[in-house]
Structure 1
Amino acid sequence: MVGGHRSRIRQSLLPLATTFWTYILLCLPRVCARNFTLRNEIRGDGFYDSFYWWNYGDPTHGTVDYVSKRESQSLNLSYVDSSTGNFVMRAEDASIASPSSSGRKSIRIHSIDKLQDGIVAMRVKHMPSGCGTWPAFWTCTTSNWPAGGEIDIVEGANDQGPRNLASLHTTAGCTIPAGNSSISTGFTGQTDCQYQPGCSESFSLSNSFGPAFNQNGGGWFVMVRDTSPVSSTSNERDLSSSTTTTTTRLPGPGISIYFYPSSTSSTDLPSFLSTNSTPPFVLTGLNATNPALGGRSGENWGRPAAFFPTTPTPALRAMGSSNTTDLAPSCPMDRYFGEHEIIINLTFCGYWAGETFPYVSTCPKNTTCDEYVRNNPRAFSEARWEIEKLLVYTDGASRIAAPPRIWTLGIGFLLACIIFHC
Structure 2
Amino acid sequence: MLIFSALIPAVGLFVHLVTAAYKLQDDYGTSHTFFDNFDFFTAADPTKGYVDYVDRSTANKSGLIKASGGSLYIGVDSSNIASSPSRQSMRLSSTKSYTHGLVILDLEHMPGSVCSTWPAFWMLGDNWPSNGEIDIIEGVNQQPTNQVALHTSPGCSINDSRFSGSVDTSNCYVEASGQAANAGCAITSNCTQSYGDRFNKAGGGVYATEWTGEAIKVGSSRAPASPPILARAPPTLRAGVVLWRPLLEAATLTRTLENYRLYMFDITFCGSWAGDAWASGSCASKSSSCISYVQNNPSAFTETYWSVNSLKVYQDGSSLNNATVSADASSHTSIPLVSPTPRHAWKHAHNGYKHRQ
TM-score normalised per structure 1? 0.66
Can you list the C-alpha shifts for 1:279-321, whole angstroms capped at 9, x where unaligned? 33324xx3xxxxxxxxxxx4350304x3443xxxxxxxxxxxx
Can you list the C-alpha shifts for 1:130-160, whole angstroms capped at 9, x where unaligned? 11011101111122x2221000000000021
Q: Which residue of 1 aligns with 2:290?
A: 369
> Which of 32, 40, 57 in structure 2 is aligned with 1:70?
57
Q: Matches of residues 199-348 of structure 1 in structure 2 within 5 Å?
A: 199-226=185-212, 228=213, 252=214, 254-264=215-225, 269=227, 272-274=229-231, 278-283=233-238, 286=239, 298-299=240-241, 301-304=243-246, 306-309=247-250, 330-332=251-253, 335-344=255-264, 345-348=266-269
Residues of 2 paired with 1:32 and 1:109: CA distance?
A: 29
Residues of 2 paired with 1:163 and 1:339: CA distance?
A: 29
Specify the SS of the correspondent of 1:221: strand
- How many corresponding residue pairs? 294
Report deviation, 1:51.
Answer: 1.4
Specify the SS of the correspondent of 2:150: strand
> Which of 41, 48, 51 in structure 1 is aligned with 2:38?
51
- Give the conservation status (yes or no) of the 8 Å contact 2:80–2:298: yes
Specify the SS of the correspondent of 1:207: coil
Higher helix share: 1
Q: Matches of residues 154-193 of structure 1 in structure 2 within 5 Å?
A: 154-160=137-143, 162-177=144-159, 180-181=161-162, 184-193=163-172
Report deviation, 1:58.
Answer: 1.0
Higher strand share: 2
> Which of 72, 75, 98 in structure 2 is aligned with 1:90?
75
Higher relative contact order (CA 8 A, sep 6+): 2
Residues of 1 paired with 2:269 and 2:18: CA distance?
A: 44
Report deviation, 1:32.
Answer: 10
TM-score normalised per structure 2? 0.77
Q: Which residue of 2 aligns with 1:291?
A: none
RMSD: 2.1
Residues of 1 paired with 2:229 and 2:286: CA distance?
A: 46
Residues of 1 paired with 2:152 and 2:47: CA distance?
A: 17
Residues of 1 paired with 2:164 and 2:283: CA distance?
A: 28
Structure 1 segments of 4 or more deviating over 6 A? none
| Structure 1: tracts of 5 or more residues without a match | 1-30, 229-251, 287-297, 310-329, 400-422
- Give the conservation status (yes or no) of the 8 Å contact 1:36–1:281: yes
Residues of 2 paired with 1:205 and 1:89: CA distance?
A: 25
Specify the SS of the correspondent of 1:303: strand
Specify the SS of the correspondent of 1:124: strand
Question: Which amino acid is the alignment partner of residue 252 of structure 2?
Answer: C
- Give the conservation status (yes or no) of the 8 Å contact 1:34–1:398: no
| Structure 2: tracts of 5 or more residues without a match | 1-16, 175-181, 321-357
